[in-house]
Structure formats: C-alpha cells, structure tokens
Amino acid sequence: MSLALTTPPTGAPPRRTLGDVYRGLTDLCEVLSVRVAEPGEDVAQAGVTAAELAAEPAVLEAFVDAEAGRIQDRHTVAPRRDVAASRALHDYAWSVALLMSGPWYLERRVPRIRPEELRLDLGSSVFTLAPGTDFACLPDDSDADLPTALTVPHEEALRVELRRAVADHMAPLLEAIGPLVRRGPRALWGMVSDDLVSGIWYLGRILGREGDAVRAATELLPGSVAPYPGGADFRYLTTPDGQRHPTRTRAGCCMYYTIRPDEACSTCPRTCDAERLRRLQG
C-alpha cells in the first residue's frame, strides 16, 4: 500500500507521504538542488540514475566531465581529473546523505532511497527524486502501522538504519568511482561520513539549533562504525567574546583547496585553528 494512497481515520490529521517530507526538506535547505517528482510522474528524461552511474563507465565519465566543466566555468581553473571526480562525488554524497538524514533529524524517520529512485541532470546538477515508500521509524510514529514502515525499538536502532541506508546507496558508486578519484576505500568512506555529519550540522545551523544537531551527529557517528572510518569528532573553539563554536576536521578531503588554495574549507585539515577563529569573527 502506498503512503500517498493511505486514508487516515476520520478526524485524524492526514498522513504525510515521503514526498511531502522531502518537499519540506528542500524548501528548508536552499542549497539542496533536488526536485521531488509528483506521484505517477514520468522521470525517465530527468537525468541518469544513481544505478547507471555505478554500473556504466561511460555515464560515470560524463558525470566527472560535467563537474570539470562547472569548475572551469565558475573558477576559470581546469581541474585535475581526480579533483573533478572528488568534487562530483562530494556533492552527490552530501545531497544523498541529507535526503536521508534530514527526515531522520526532523521527523525521526529514515527513508530508503534506492539508486533507481534518484536521477541527476548532468548539465544542471539538479537531482530528481521519485520517492519510494519504505522507511524505518519508532513505535510511536503516527505511520508505524503502514506495511511499508519498518518499526524499530529505539533511537539507536533508528541510527543503525540511517547508517545502513546511506551506506547501501553509496557503496556501488564508491566502488565504481574509486579509480577516478585515486583514493582507497577508507578515504572514500571518510568523505561519506563527513558529508553525513555536515548535512545534519547544516540543518541545525539553519534552524537555530546547532548544539542539538552537533549532539545528534555525534550520537549517529560516535566513532568508527563500519563502513565509516571515523566519528563526528566535534571540538570547540572560543572566540575573544567568550563564545564557543563547534568545529571538526574532515576525514576525507573534498579537494576544494586545489581549486582555491587560499579558500580551503573551514573543516579542511589544512585550515588551522587560528584561521578558523578569524573566519568566525569575520
């Protein structure tokens, strides 16, 4: 039975489909370039599927070519092939992780996004998501009675489902793109763990509850949890006004420093604490 077709009991609030949840998330996150397809919409022309990226070398090469072109257009820099592949993978991993971690953080639900449900327009870098109906939730969820719901007993079990859902989606692409990125599995999974954590952190900041998001991300990745090689590993810097600010150092490099050497990410291993503090005060 589809979530979208479920009729609630008289007087009960209407059920929210996964499509509704995704639309709320994309409205909230302006930098999330995702269009949520309407039920029954034909999305065959919306781009390549995640499954095709992992299974077809020509499609994967086109994925990297498109990112190299964007870098050239935006920054007037011709990137190395491994840099373009890393940047493309970073954007993909961040978006996919947030599409699953966002519903978890906001609504305590973990959707399953299968590779064939997500398409990417290589020219515009806009994703189109045809929402499935499977999700994991806690027993007190209003939709726990749906046959498409996997009810788990507690919060840690829900975190396990989120880690598993992201890993299952990303594993085929990491295996395929590894030779282009020129990094091994540990570094690739380090990038995925970074993007999983940073998406939750980003949500907390835009909602004005950064501390809560930092705690949630730390509980999700308290340390090395296979296949993720490291934890959230937040720490704090204190500015002269006495304010404490969370920061962390990425485990897997997104390679932006090779494009703009003087503008390395705030969480880059190459960005020292003094520079991080300068940016916080800027």
**Tens of pLDDT along 205-234?**
999 999 999 999 999 999 999 999 999 999
Give the three-state DSSP class for 34.
Answer: strand
pLDDT of the residue at 252: 83
pLDDT of the residue at 262: 81
**Tens of pLDDT along 15-72?**
678 899 999 999 999 899 999 998 888 898 889 998 999 999 999 999 999 999 999 9
Q: Are 73 and 175 in contact (CB under 8 A)?
A: no
Q: Are 102 and 29 in contact (CB under 8 A)?
A: yes
pLDDT of the residue at 8: 36
Give the three-state DSSP class for 268.
Answer: coil
Whole-structure pTM value: 0.92
Residue 95 in tokens: 């978006």
* Sheet arrangement for strand 118-120: 34-36, 127-129, 118-120, 48-49
Q: Maximum Cα–Cα distance for the chain, whole Å?
A: 60
Long-range contacts of 135-140 (CB under 8 A, 24+ apart): 135/18, 135/103, 135/109, 135/110, 135/111, 136/109, 136/110, 136/112, 136/161, 136/162, 136/165, 137/108, 137/109, 137/110, 138/108
- Report the range of poorest mean pLDDT among 9-23, 65-79, 180-194: 9-23
